[in-house]
Structure 1
């Protein structure tokens, strides 16, 4: 059976635009902040709304409450399916319905939980992350309607912003609801609002708590300072030992590499500095392409440090201190291996023979796309048609730990990571927004891809 074609799908999506925008406005207004409690009534209302929207586009969606590893109640998840042909490919569509909190609404130019359209973008918390992902799936299924020729399964998660604690138990309890040939994760973004991207890789992560001890108890800095360095200074020396003179991690055993599938375009240094708000005098750390430094090389950040505040400080040498390192690992390296390499390094480089103890914390595996998969070529062609230009693929420095878990349980399934965001989206930040034209093009892309996957079916 022939494919529907670009113009038919584009017309259907354009005709559906007002419904899609209304869906996003309603979703924003639900304020589904999982940090306020994943089992709260507000999260149940969000899940119910999403399930209802999916039922409108032919998915037999339902809400199921997950359980945490300890057996306590977990997130409200939305699952469902639409079966059209037992011989057709099966595609799992993923997004999440929980959103980030809004710590300070005064930093927003609009009400965070009211969808406001301005200059071609819709503003509101969750408009892009990941209400946009839900809208993409809804819009694509609506555009295909009765012409859908692949089987579809849907999973809309309720605690992605909280670390997906109940995901593994839920997956194990509902394995049949996830089994598929292709998994489309709509929780990333494009190179720009008008230049599409597949996400080619995600770094993994590992947290380590490091305790540096030099004294059995605090002592007076005037009486003992000099031959004895305080624990905070020793910790600073230890942290600095991880880096070379270019500011690049120099820890044996930490793997790195080049962008998956090759580097199509490097990131713009001036834009990166502007986006991050880097002070003018700062020199960017590391060597090689910016893309590799952000996507496929390891990075470490001290995200917590136990030290006495400046206010109220007094003249004593700190006997011990503790800090937490967030280690971003190369997409293909096991986080346990990377964490062990860093722990071994820190213990071996204890400054002045201080006692260094390392306790591993949360870990998540990275992911790398199969750049040689035929479905990648199909997705890129769908993007090319929908956006009217070649895609520029990119990696991400962050991680989505459930993707490697899905690959572990379903090793034959291909994974595509797409999404509604662009560099102006401000996901997790004030004034989050989504490009409405970009959203339309993303919907057309997914509809074209699903249509091409099912084109060989009768």
Structure 2
């Protein structure tokens, strides 16, 4: 297949079957965080493996490491001497949480107003479907050799991924790696993700008493743990909302306009709420550190006794900028907390999890091919080099395991996908462009 129009026509031809396969995958409740649905995660891996067998892959295997969730590895040979492309996605999904928050059943794909709604419809079973669609466009005239790696535990931190990459490194080695687990800048505007912040999460506990005591008898002399913890938390930002932890890295971001109206709509900020921090919006979101408190352990207001609270805990989530390391960030955060605990209170810091930040060198022939393919698929609109404020730590694992490969981070999501939340939805017209872009990319890579 040599012409763009032929490829466009083939995309339209294969899309109905690809959508059916996506819907079948979505119906499998592969929630990796739920031990009760471990069997569903296994069933999901088996369904993915069957899809690759139906495409006449030369080898298809379900693998795992040390009790981890099942992943699927598959290989299909292309022309002699053609580049090898590794296509990544993951088949596990986030918990659906309260079904009452959904407008339709979370595991029954439902189309409304041009979107397909269901848990995993976008993140990331649509990534699997996009890979399948691109392969079906080329059929037996595949222009490159293809390796598939479909992970089963991305939504719970990819704990065994480094071991899987090490154990199967020869089988996964490639010239180009396409990771379909990110998104596009907007409807009608494609993107290549070139930076992601890292993550450090800790549980912080302060203790001021060995046991609760009467607030009237001892208030005014003995500090309670909630007031003490509040002062520690307040020290993490300056008056303008900038992170006040010394020693953290910050950097510049791409020159991308993020309009105020869109920012408010997508962030869900309540009316009248002001933005925190200084500098360009995209720097604050992509290339500067952030600190949030995502949980508190303390007595509830309803039914609280009239006593001084002896201990209180907070979960602190810190996103670190590309160019920083989790080792440095954790050391800086510890030092800050220790120096800001008032009144001699006891401080405890427990690390929950970490994930390295990523900065990708988005230059070279593979990126040139990707930009050309995306521009064609989006009818002349060039892709934005986009940062992501969230963390996908496994990308750093791929960069470390395959340092010679060009790593392209793409995806099917858009600003209203609502991944991880209720009413997760896939924009079907954008999905068609994603399939076309990947089919064109394989075509371009085969000509290198």
Q: Same fold (TM over 0.5)?
A: yes
The corresponding residue for 1:50 is 48
The corresponding residue for 2:12 is 14
Structure 1 residues 257-268: aligned runs within 5 Å? 257-259=251-253, 262-263=254-255, 265-268=256-259
Inter-CA distance 232–373: structure 2 relative to 1 (3 Å threshold): farther
1:124 to 99, 118, 122: 118
Q: Please, what TM-score do these two structures have when normalized by structure 1?
A: 0.93
Q: Which runs of 5+ in 2 are unaligned?
A: none
Q: CA deviation at 1:241?
A: 0.8
Structure 1 residues 37-436: aligned runs within 5 Å? 37=35, 40-60=38-58, 62-68=60-66, 73-259=67-253, 262-263=254-255, 265-388=256-379, 389-436=381-428
Instruction: Indicate if the aligned counterparts of 2:84 and 2:174 stay in contact, CA closer than 8 A.
Output: yes
Q: CA deviation at 1:61?
A: 5.0
CA distance in 2, matches of 1:165, 1:377: 33
Q: CA deviation at 1:328?
A: 0.7
Is 56-65 or 379-388 further displaced after alignment? Answer: 56-65
Instruction: Indicate if the aligned counterparts of 1:116 and 1:124 stay in contact, CA closer than 8 A.
Output: yes
CA distance in 2, matches of 1:425, 1:61: 34
CA distance in 2, matches of 1:58, 1:196: 31
Q: CA deviation at 1:87?
A: 2.6
When the two structures are aligned, how many residues end up with a matched partner?
Answer: 447
CA distance in 1, matches of 2:204, 2:101: 34
Is 265-274 or 322-331 further displaced after alignment? Answer: 265-274
CA distance in 2, matches of 1:241, 1:43: 42
Alpha-carbon RMSD across the aligned residues, in angstroms, is: 1.7
Q: CA deviation at 1:326?
A: 1.1
Instruction: Indicate if the aligned counterparts of 2:29 and 2:40 stay in contact, CA closer than 8 A.
Output: yes
CA distance in 2, matches of 1:58, 1:296: 43
Secondary structure at the counterpart of residue 303 of structure 1:
strand
CA distance in 1, matches of 2:3, 2:327: 47
Q: Deviations over 1:15-40 (max 9, x none)?
A: 11111111111111122222233873
Is 141-150 or 440-449 further displaced after alignment? Answer: 141-150
Q: Deviations over 1:91-137 (max 9, x none)?
A: 11000111122222222222222222222221221111111101110
Moved over 3 A (4+): none
Q: CA deviation at 1:375?
A: 2.1
Q: Which runs of 5+ in 1 are unaligned?
A: none
Secondary structure at the counterpart of residue 413 of structure 2:
coil
Q: CA deviation at 1:356?
A: 2.2
